[in-house]
Structure 1
Amino acid sequence: MASTPEDDLRAFQFERVLNQDTGRKTLNLLGSINGQPAIITAEKTAFNADRAPALVSPEGLPSLHLLQKNDIYHWFMGTLQQSADAAAAVKVNLIYPCTDVHIKKYSAQKPHMVVETPEVYARYVSRYIAEKVAGGRLNWVYNILEHRSESEKIVYEDEDKLTGFILLPDLKWDLVTMTSLYLSVIVHRTDIRSIRDLNASHLAFLRSMRDRVLSATSDRYAIASDELKVYVHYQPSYYHFHLHVVHVAHDMGSSAAVGKAILLDEVIQTLEVMQRVQAAGGTEIGYKDLEITYLVGEEHDLWRRVFEPLKQGLEPTI
């Protein structure tokens, strides 16, 4: 009998801690399941405001320990009543089997600010991207697009192979806390790997997708469109064009920071400027012609194989 995902998680054999973020209350663990490498990421869940009365009841706080009292101020440590279905204390993600790329991504690492010129992109980074889309690395994306996985979660879909996309909750969202709402948009077309492939010809596609994503999200979750931010990553974590839709109140940490996230509206405005330049008789340009500055961790292959060698005056190993 095949094992269930729950069976796999219970069979996890701990090896070491990859990273811990005390501010965001997350913990990344490396281990193995049935002899294959696996990663568990654990994150403390947000409080559910709808359960506030139960939270402060004796049943909701079954154990309390007074740490200190000073005049009107009191500090306690306590345990909460928990239920995996209604009041889970932790959200656990499992990547199994994981790759070396996953291990590097989820490990603590020193970040570096790098400048990717059009020349560096054309000579080295484009080749790196070609490596990363080979060998079935995007099978999980195609599983979603072809309805082999997560089809029950789809919020909105346009099935057109050129202008269509799927909108669905990201695995990082607990599906309960609206202020931490996080959705992903995965396009059906396969000719756009990252913003580097975008030019003025994609403007109508991007504008239409932005408007429909905001409308569908607002309708499904009763959240005003001005309470949502839509952005792309560069570098992205996988090379099939996708968008991130996040509640403006949600602290996404480095995932939404300068040097990683670029607002979709900003991308559209940049392409509009390019379009005006072309209309005025200028040469046809796109994001491939821009110098882009971003953060990359020292465990990332782009740092080790491209930017670190360039910094040392050596030829990149890609």
Structure 2
Amino acid sequence: MSVSAEEEARLRRFNFTRILNQDTGTKTVNLLGEIESTPAILIAEKTAFNVTGAHLTKFSHDLHLPKVTLIARNDIYHSFMASQNSEYGEVKLTLIFPATETHIQKYTHQQLRMVVETPEIYRELVKPYVEEKRGSGRLDWVHNILEHKAEKESIIVEDTDDVEGFILLPDLKWDRKTMASMYTMAIVRRRDITSIRDLKKMHVPWLKNLRRRIPEVICEKYSGIEPDQIKLYVHYQPSYYHFHLHAISISHDSGIGQATGKAILLGNIISRLESLGGDEEAGMESVELTYFLGEESELWQRVFKGINGKGKAKE
């Protein structure tokens, strides 16, 4: 439907008053304003990429981006912000190069499966897989951060204690400007904890300190956000096996990464550990966890694809 000159003229007379709402997931913003002294609402939404083959081939070959600024670089991960363009708009780009088969699987659309990881399955099948994945340089980029070999300029705050300490820095998903989509990551300095499976009741004071300190330092660094507007959680399974936490704006929808069966609130982990009884060595290794995996993931293919609902390997 074509827009008449009168309708276009009316749209251009829109006089902005204030933002009513914004949704970082759907990339929409609802604006209140006036047209000739009459209240009006304008809803703006970023459109999807044109995914036709010819269009994406053209995009990938010459990018059509007049200005590209490097935000961060660490090992194989590169983050850029491309300036606004009449055809594509502002684009945040993350380059993974060289990409492994694991990266390709992670970023490929795939069917999801719910799995039940019993303590026995973890101990006998998953834990050996985790130990394998921690080797062969897979955590080099994390160690680069901890040793100040990369992203030093991006560090929001650092606690240098080798046991209690952590480094807080912006996640590559955040443009570092829009507080509604604020997304940070806290990487702990200690290297003996791979995931929530290694957490024990004895770690509760440390975890409570992280729960207090991380929102505190974010609010000291950035205006416009308060501690109870920050969501603090961990992933299971995580993308990499060095314990880290995600601290994001509660209003931000980061998609599947926040879904039930992937994200576990830090407060709930603390409560679970506190309920395990008097033994300080009791921990998450002894509990049953339910979560989802993609069918293309290596963990699904190697461990869970051949396990039935009773938690026993199929003959």
The TM-score, its normalising length taken from structure 1, stands at 0.71
Tell me, in whole angstroms, the C-alpha distance in 2 between the residues paired with 1:232 and 1:193.
Answer: 12
Partner residue of 2:308 out of 289, 302, 311: 311
Matched, 1:273 2:275: yes
Matched, 1:290 2:287: yes
Matched, 1:170 2:171: yes
Contact 1:230–1:245 (8 Å) recurs in 2: yes
1:228 Cα shift? 0.5
State the SS of the aligned residue for 2:193: coil
1:47 Cα shift? 7.5
Contact 1:82–1:89 (8 Å) recurs in 2: no
Distance 1:77 1:189, change over 3 A: closer
Q: CA-to-partner distance for each residue in 1:103-122, whole Å, 9 max, x for gaps?
A: 10000100000000000000
Counterpart in the other structure of 1:57: none
Counterpart in the other structure of 2:12: none
Counterpart in the other structure of 2:226: 224
Contact 2:171–2:184 (8 Å) recurs in 1: yes
Matched, 1:151 2:148: no
Q: CA-to-partner distance for each residue in 1:182-235, whole Å, 9 max, x for gaps?
A: 000000100000000001110111111111111000111121001100000000
Distance 1:137 1:77, change over 3 A: closer
Map 1:34-183 onto structure 2 (within 5 A): 87=84, 89-183=90-184
Distance 1:248 1:308, change over 3 A: same
Tell me, in whole angstroms, the C-alpha distance in 1 between the residues paired with 2:45 and 2:291.
Answer: 42
Counterpart in the other structure of 2:38: none
Tell me, in whole angstroms, the C-alpha distance in 1 between the residues paired with 2:300 and 2:117.
Answer: 11
Counterpart in the other structure of 1:215: 216
1:84 Cα shift? 5.2
State which drifts further: 119-128 or 84-93.
Answer: 84-93
1:285 Cα shift? 2.0
Contact 2:202–2:280 (8 Å) recurs in 1: no
State the SS of the aligned residue for 1:311: coil
Question: Which segments of 5 or more consecutive residues in structure 2 lack a partner in the other structure?
Answer: 1-23, 34-40, 48-64, 70-82
Aligned residue identity for 2:216: S
Contact 2:202–2:281 (8 Å) recurs in 1: no
Tell me, in whole angstroms, the C-alpha distance in 2 between the residues paired with 1:77 and 1:140.
Answer: 33
Tell me, in whole angstroms, the C-alpha distance in 2 between the residues paired with 1:177 and 1:73.
Answer: 20
1:311 Cα shift? 2.9
Q: CA-to-partner distance for each residue in 1:143-200, whole Å, 9 max, x for gaps?
A: 0000000010111101111110000000110111110000000001000000000011
State the SS of the aligned residue for 1:219: helix
Tell me, in whole angstroms, the C-alpha distance in 1 between the residues paired with 2:220 and 2:25.
Answer: 29
Aligned alpha-carbon RMSD (Å): 3.2
Count of aligned pairs between the two proteins: 248
Tell me, in whole angstroms, the C-alpha distance in 2 between the residues paired with 1:148 and 1:157.
Answer: 14
Tell me, in whole angstroms, the C-alpha distance in 1 between the residues paired with 2:202 and 2:45.
Answer: 59
| Percentage of identical aligned residues | 46
Contact 1:170–1:183 (8 Å) recurs in 2: yes
Contact 1:230–1:264 (8 Å) recurs in 2: yes
